[in-house]
Structures are given as structure tokens and as C-alpha cells.
Amino acid sequence: MLYELGLLSTIAITGWLALDPLLSTASRGRSMALSAMALAACIWASAELLLQRGGSADEIWVLRRFLYLGACALPVTWLWLAFRAARGFHRSSGGWFIALCALPSALFYSCLWWAPELYGDWSVVPPKRGPFFVANVGWTWLLISVGIVYFGVAARRLRQASSGAFPALVTAVMVPMVGNLLYLLGFLGTFDPTPILLGVAALLLRVGVIDAGLASHLPFGRGDLLDQLEAGVLVSDMSGEVVVANPASHRLLREERLVGRPLDALVDRALCHPDRSIEVRRFPLRTGMGEVGAGVVLTDRTEAEHAARRLQLAARLEAVGYLTAGIAHEVNNPLAYIRTNLGQLGDLAEALTKAEPGTELEPELRDRAAEAGEVVAETREGVERIAHLVERLRSFARHDPDDDRAAPVPLVRAVERAVSMARVGFASDVIRVQAESTPPVLAAESQLVQIVLNLLVNAIQASGEDPDIELAIAPDAGGVSLRVSDRGSGIDEDALPNVFDPFFTTKGPGQGTGLGLSLSYDLARQNGGRLAAHNRKGGGATFVLWLPAAEADVEPQAG
Ligand code: ADP
């Protein structure tokens, strides 16, 4: 009675497990293997249950054949599930291998139809077992043992994934083995507990392998969405091996085989990609049972970075463009006296060539010749000034990728570079710099210069006729802050929330592009800092740039 009850519950459980993949949204693969195994156990248990009720010899033979359908299919489905559970350890899904293993099982089963006597005689109690029975059992145990090896691999991984899943898997593997052995050795008489124990095993495997949700089994690790995504997606299990890789990840990493490889190595590869800039975002994968693996999203940022660089260059040139009037003035001043001086030197040279050789020079000509040295020195100084100015402009407008590298840099140095650019067009007392002693910040210096210059140009433009701009550098909350304050128009309260938006400008066409502040804001963020704006009480605006201090143990930049 107890045995029959056990068989009945097994039929219920295995029947449900066999239908499970149809009902749940979980993926194929492992679930299909489990349901095939559950179906085999269900067939076996049903036949066993009917056999308990007895019947004619013919009926018993029909039921035996039915029973053996389950019993012969079981080791193959067991092996299939074991292969799927240990996926990643084995390169292929084992399809061919499983099909090959199914052939002898099918052969044994067909023997039952055309040579049942070779199987033994079940009409006697205990049944008389024939040579095919022994051979079939031997074959079954061989398949089961290979499956155990693969389950062992899966179990090693599950130990990391979930503490409950590991014992469930070990019990699932051991219980039917022990039960079947005891029965075959004759300890349990005619009661074969194997189908019941296989039902228990299927349930435990469901908990241990499927519900433990090795990362590869997660529903989101699959489907058309992943296949069509432009971003690369890699999913690894707790052992760190990749179990899911979508087509985009193959494209981005230029690798044909990703599944089964260590996730960390692939992440390194993405970060060191020779000609693409790949952004890597990594996150832990969790199910109700806790962490089961890790996910990585790979995004190709190459084009976006090119566009951002082009935009940065445009903003640089815009600042230079605004300073053009001042630059023209700066160049024109020395040019004027260089021209006069060259005229004087030309006249002198002409007069000297006209003078009679061997005669005393006229006093006026002698004085002019004596002054020539000074005129040349003054001219050279003017040429140097122009050359220096051109060099400053060139180094600012030029985009060198090395300039974008973060290194410890004194903020005051970047401020001075920007101020010296801005002063080209304005009287030097218009811009005042107050600097307290501050630690270096970890940033790309050229980007800092760009931010400060943008703030200065805006401050100058907002100030009208009489600019008065103050820059104050001070230590602030674990970093360094720079406050750029002007006494200009201030920012309209309605516009204040939008000033950092791209293309937001209150300036007329041809005067503003609305790029300066949004780029400055992005650059500040890229360097781990912040940029904020507010109006001053007495009129005018203040922009506050905050940057974190560089770690004390970072090598300071030379120069
Ligand atoms: P643009 O200068 O090309 O307009 P920005 O992004 O540099 O672009 O600035 C956006 C807007 O922010 C400006 O049009 C202006 O309205 C406002 N703004 C920026 N700096 C100041 C300032 N110092 N005083 C007043 N308004 C400012």
C-alpha cells in the first residue's frame, strides 16, 4: 500500500515536471532534459503501479514492455540532463554523444519485443533474470556513471552558487543509485524502489539544477532581444565562466568562441581593445536564491567619443574665435613697431651703402647706426611676442589625445593658463586670481583649461563694458574648488536650471552656441568633479567648479 502510494505520488510529481517546460517561461535546454527524464520516470512508475495489481501473463508482459520503455529511456535522459547541467565544462551540448548512447538502449529495448525470453522470466517470484537483462543493467549503470561525472562538475559550480542547491544535487544523484543497487542485490524483494527514488531525484534536480538558476538558465539570458541587441551581453556563472554570449559580444570582441571562457579575461580584452573604445558595465546576477553569477554589458563608445571630441574641438575654437579681436590687437601692436623699425633699418642700410668708403660718417648717420642694435632688439622682442602668442593659441586649439589623460595637476596652473589666454584680449587687471594653497587634483589639465576658459569667456561676455572677474581657488570638502565670479548681468532665474543643457543659449545668433557650459559640465563630471552655478547677491553670477584631490600616493606630474 505504501509502495503504491509512493508510486502514485511519483507519477504526479514526474508528470508535473514533464509538463513544466511547456508551462513555465524558463528556457529550453536543461528544462527539456529534465522533463524527458521525468517523463521516463513517470512511464516506469505508472507501469510499476499497474503491475502491482497483477493480471494475466500477457498483460504482465505488456506492462513489462511499458516499464522498460521508461527504464531504457531513463539513463539516456539522465546523461542528457547531466550534460546540460555541466554546460561550459563541455564545449558542445553533447547532442551527438547522447544520440549515440541512445542507440544501444534502443537496441536493448527492441530485444524485449522479439526475444523476451532472453530478458528473463517474470512470471516466477523472484523473477528469473536473463542475459539481456544483465547486459541492459550494465549498460544503464555505465551511462549513469558517466552522468555522475558530469553532475559532479555541475555540483562543483553549484557549491559556489547556492548552499542549498549543492546537497540537493548530491542527494538527487545518490538516492536512486543506492535504491537500485539494493533492489538488484535482492535486499528489497520484488519491490523496486528505483522509479520512486527517480521521482524524488527529478524533484531534487529541479531544485538543485534548474531553480538554483545557474546563470545560463536565467530567462533573460536568452531570446531574440539579446540576439538583436547592439550592445554585447555576457553572462557568467559563479565560477566566472561565460555561459551566455550574444552575437554582438562576438562582434565586439572579434571572437568566435566566448562560452566557457573566463569572464574576467574577456572584460580585460574589451577594455584593451586595439581600435575600439568599449565601455564595460558589470553587475551581479541575483535570483531568489541569491547571487548566481555576473552579467556584463559591452557598449561600443568609439563613435560617441569621436563626436564628443569633435564637439570639444568646436567649443575650443569657439572660445578662440571670441578672443580673436583681442588676439588681432595683440599681434597688431608689435607688428606696428616692427614695421616702423624695419623701415628705419632699411633707411639706415641705404644711407650706409651711399656713404663714401674710407670717409668719416656724418654725425647723424653715426647716431642712427649706434641705435640700430636697440632697434633690432626691440624688433626681435616684438617677433617673440607674436611667436609666443601663436604658440599659446596653437597649443590650446590643437587636440592631443594625451592631453585627455588624467594626472595630478595643481588647479592653479590650469587656471593661470586659461587666464593668460583670456587676458590676451582684455586689460590684465580685469581678471583677478586668488589662490590658497591646495593639493593637486587628478584631472586632464587641458580639459581644466577648457572649463576655466569657457567660464571666463562667459563672465566677460556677461559683464559688458567694465568687466570685474574674480577667480578664487581654495581647498574644499576633500577636494579643491574654483569660484569664478563676475559683476555682470547674472543669470535669469528661469534660465538657471537650463544653463548646463546642450545648445541652451540666451545670446543672439552667431554669438552663442550653447555648448560651452554643457561641455564644461561634462568635462567636470568626467574628471570626477562637479560644476554648479548661482547668482550673486549684489548682482552677477558665480560658477563653482569642484574637483576631488588626487590621492596622496599618486606620482605628481612632472613640470
Ligand atoms: P553660450 O555662451 O554659447 O551661450 P554657454 O553654454 O557657455 O553657451 O552658456 C549658456 C548660457 O548660460 C548663456 O547663453 C548665458 O545665458 C548663460 N550664462 C553663462 N555664463 C553666464 C554668466 N557668467 N553670467 C550670466 N549668464 C551666463
Confidence of residue 327 (pLDDT cuts 50, 70, 90): confident
Atom of ligand 1 minimally distant from the CA of 514: 8
Q: Closest Cα to residue 26, out of 76, 68, 84, 113?
A: 84
Compute the average pLDDT of residues 372-378: 87
Strands (E), 274-329: 278-287, 290-300
State in Å: Cα 392 to ligand 1 middle: 25
Nearest CA, atom 27, ligand 1: 491
pLDDT at 198 over 90: no
What confidence score (pLDDT) does residue 554 get?
43
Under DSSP, the state recorded for 239 is: T
Write the Ramachandran bin of 133: left for phi over 0, alpha for psi from -120 to 50, otherwise beta: alpha
Residue 360: what pLDDT? 75
Q: What is the pLDDT of residues 485-524, one digit of tens each?
A: 999 989 999 999 999 988 888 987 767 778 889 889 988 9
Tell me what the mean pLDDT of segment 125-152 comes to.
84
Could you identify the atom of ligand 1 that is nearest to the CA of residue 454? 7
Model confidence at 291: pLDDT above 80? no
Per the model's pLDDT, the better-predicted residue between 337 and 89 turns out to be 337
Query: pLDDT class for 139, splitting at 50, 70, 90?
Result: very high
Average pLDDT, the chain: 82
| Helix segments in 162-213, DSSP class H | 165-184, 194-205
CA of 499 to the centre of ligand 1 (A): 6
pLDDT of residue 400: 60
Distance 457 CA to ligand 1 centre (A): 9
For the stretch 515-557, pLDDT in tens is 889 889 988 998 999 999 999 988 899 999 999 998 754 444 4
- CB distance 182 to 197 below 8 Å: no
* 278 Ramachandran zone, left/alpha/beta (phi>0; psi -120 to 50): beta
Flag the least confident range among 136-140, 228-232, 330-334, 543-547.
330-334
Distance 495 CA to ligand 1 centre (A): 10
pLDDT beyond 80 at 298: yes
Residue 445 Cα, ligand 1 centroid: separation in angstroms?
A: 23
Q: What is the pLDDT of residue 204?
A: 82
Q: What is the pLDDT of residue 25?
A: 44
Give percent above pLDDT 90 in the chain.
22
The minimum-distance atom of ligand 1 relative to the CA of 513 is 3
- Distance from the CA of 518 to the center of ligand 1, in angstroms? 10
Per-residue pLDDT averaged across 276-302, rounded? Answer: 85
Q: Is the pLDDT of residue 218 over 60?
A: no
Pairwise CA distance, residues 405 & 467, whole Å = 34
Q: Which of the four pLDDT bands, split at 50, 70 and 90, describes residue 307?
A: confident
Mean pLDDT to the nearest integer, 461-467: 84
> How many angstroms is it from 290 CA to the middle of ligand 1?
50
Q: How many residues does the chain have?
A: 559
Confidence of residue 279 (pLDDT cuts 50, 70, 90): very high
Closest residue by Cα to atom 13, ligand 1, is 505
Instruction: Give the distance (Å) from ligand 1 centre to CA of residue 320.
Output: 16
Mean pLDDT of 453-470: 89
Q: Whose CA is nearest to atom 8 of ligand 1?
A: 514
Ligand 1, atom 11, lies closest to the CA of 505
Cell numbers that stand for 399 in this block: 587636440
Are 182 and 207 in contact by the 8 Å Cβ rule? The answer is no
Q: What is the pLDDT of residue 425?
A: 63
User: How far is the C-alpha of 208 from the C-alpha of 268, rounded, in Å?
Assistant: 32
Please identify, by atom number, the ligand 1 atom nearest to the C-alpha of residue 519: 6
Give the count of beta carbons closer than 10 Å to the beta carbon of residue 85: 28
Query: Span 378-396, mean pLDDT?
Result: 81
pLDDT for 87:
63
Residues 24/54, Cβ–Cβ less than 8 Å: no
* Paired sense of beta strands 242-245 and 479-485, if any: unpaired
Give the residue whose CA is nearest to atom 16 of ligand 1. Answer: 506
Least trusted range by pLDDT, from 267-281, 304-318, 379-393, 477-491: 304-318
pLDDT in tens, 5-64: 888 988 998 888 888 766 554 445 667 888 888 899 899 999 988 988 877 878 888 888
Percent share of the chain, pLDDT over 70: 86
The pLDDT of residue 299:
94
| Ligand 1: residue whose CA is nearest its atom 21 | 458
Tens digit of pLDDT for each residue in 48-63? Answer: 889 888 778 788 888 8
Quick one: pLDDT at residue 159? 62
Is it the case that residue 439 has pLDDT exceeding 80?
A: yes
Report residue 241's pLDDT band, with 50, 70 and 90 as the boundaries.
confident
Whether 91 has a pLDDT exceeding 60, the answer reads no
Helix crossing, 165-184 with 131-161: angle to 10°?
170
Residue 261 CA, distance from chain mean position: 17
pLDDT for the residue numbered 434: 93
Of 351-355, 426-430, 502-506, highest mean pLDDT: 502-506
Task: Give me the pLDDT at residue 455, please.
Answer: 94
Phi, psi (rounded to 5 degrees) for 541: -125, 155
Higher pLDDT, 287 or 329: 329
Beta bridge partners of 483: 472, 544
Which amino acid type is present at position 522?
Answer: D
pLDDT at 151: 80
How far is the centre of ligand 1, averaged over its atoms, from the C-alpha of 417 (Å)? 21
Q: Which residues line ligand 1 (CB under 6 A)?
A: 454, 458-459, 462, 486, 488-491, 495, 499, 504-507, 512-518, 541
Q: Which of 302, 286, 293, 242 is nearest to 267 (CA)?
A: 242
CA 503 to ligand 1 centroid distance, Å: 10
Given a cut of 60, whether residue 88 has pLDDT beyond it is no
Per mean pLDDT, which of 219-233, 358-372, 395-409, 536-550 is the most reliable?
A: 536-550
pLDDT at 160: 58
Which atom of ligand 1 approaches the CA of 499 most closely? 12
